[in-house]
Amino acid sequence: MPSRSNQNKSAQKPPSKKSAELSSPSTSSPFHPRNLHQGKYDFEKLVQADKTPHEENLARFIRANTFGEISIDFADEKAVKALNRALLQLQYAINSWNIPDDYLCPPVPGRADYIHNLADLLASSNHGKMPKKTNIQALDIGTGANGIYPLIGAASYQWRFIASDINPNAIANLDQILLANPQLSDKIQTRLQTDRSAYFRNVLLDDEWFDFSMCNPPFHHSLADAQEGTKRKWNNLGQSQQLHKLNFGGQDAELWCEGGELSFIQNMIKESQAFSSRCFWFTSLVSKASNLPAIKAALKQEKVQASKTIDMQQGQKQSRFVAWTFLNPTQQAAWAKLRW
């Protein structure tokens, strides 16, 4: 698996200069109907839910924004981490969630939408009915230190996950989170990917089948590109002194890989062909819509049986993921009958 961890440029980012000081994103976002994060953040309930020590507690970061509303400074990475921790505690009963300094902090509401849309994708392949929850086995490629997708997927749908990453420190951190959440520890298994050029090899065992794979690829094509992206964001905030900080934290493998997002996904598609009968839906987030034509061309070259682009709208931000399968309709029906 190339340099990659689950959170990339779409992790929590500085807002625009106009709203940078203190704002409440996601307040009007049309999230998926099953997304628990609808409307404004209820900071009173979130503070009550946060059981972490005072120096890291969400209450420490609460303040009024320029509109007189209770909020946090979304340009403060510690405040954002505290908010996400409280969201996971309040909405998913996930305790003691934490990530090391300099690792990307995912925006929980947006991450949940990928999970819910994947549930819809499975239902669309099962006569419109959600498959039996406990039968679903998923693979998260590049889970990161935060493990956000397996945590939300297991808590929301009781799905079982293999969470892989090339970074042993990321795997160790997720293992600690799972130790603090025994209700999820039997649903999520971590695996270290020892081959930085592989996605599925060395992770999937010979007797394993997956109903879907998921991935949030690194966005940038080089360290310099990642630094330039961060420079633009901080300049928009009028805080150029922060240029040494990459995108509110993030290891190199989380931010960039050779060839960027497009090359990463193209290589994933190519390798997925070798596992064509062992996974129903292969999927990946696509941050740049301009990459879609080349991705569709790669899918055609590998002779996939079907592919879809699932759009997700979150306020002013547009996101999407591509899904593809090598199973023909007869094989798809047999898979659903056998497993779901």
Domains of the chain: 101-339 (3.40.50.150)
Q: What confidence category does residue 186 fall into, taking pLDDT thresholds of 50, 70 and 90? A: very high
Kindly state the percentage of the chain with pLDDT values over 70: 79
Q: Strand order in 137-141's β-sheet?
A: 188-192, 160-165, 137-141, 210-215, 279-285, 317-325, 306-314
Measured from the Cβ of residue 168, the count of other Cβ atoms closer than 10 Å reads: 11
CB 164 within 8 A of CB 139: yes
pLDDT digits (tens, 9 = 90+) for 243-294: 444 444 444 444 545 768 999 999 999 999 999 999 999 999 999 999 999 9
- Gap between the Cα atoms of 176 and 166, Å rounded: 17
> Residue 319 forms beta bridges with which residues?
312
CB 150 within 8 A of CB 140: yes
- Gap between the Cα atoms of 121 and 211, Å rounded: 11
Tell me which H or E stretch contains 310.
strand 306-314
Predicted local distance difference test score (pLDDT) of residue 225? 52
Nearest CA to 173 out of 299, 55, 5 is that of 5
CB-based contacts of 62, cutoff 8 Å, min separation 6: 43, 47, 70, 71, 72
Strand ranges in 87-197 using DSSP code E only, listed in sequence order: 137-141, 160-165, 188-192
Predicted local distance difference test score (pLDDT) of residue 52? 87
CB-based contacts of 320, cutoff 8 Å, min separation 6: 285, 286, 289, 292, 309, 310, 311, 312
- Amino acid sitting at position 104: L
- Of 134 and 245, more confident: 134
Predicted local distance difference test score (pLDDT) of residue 254? 45
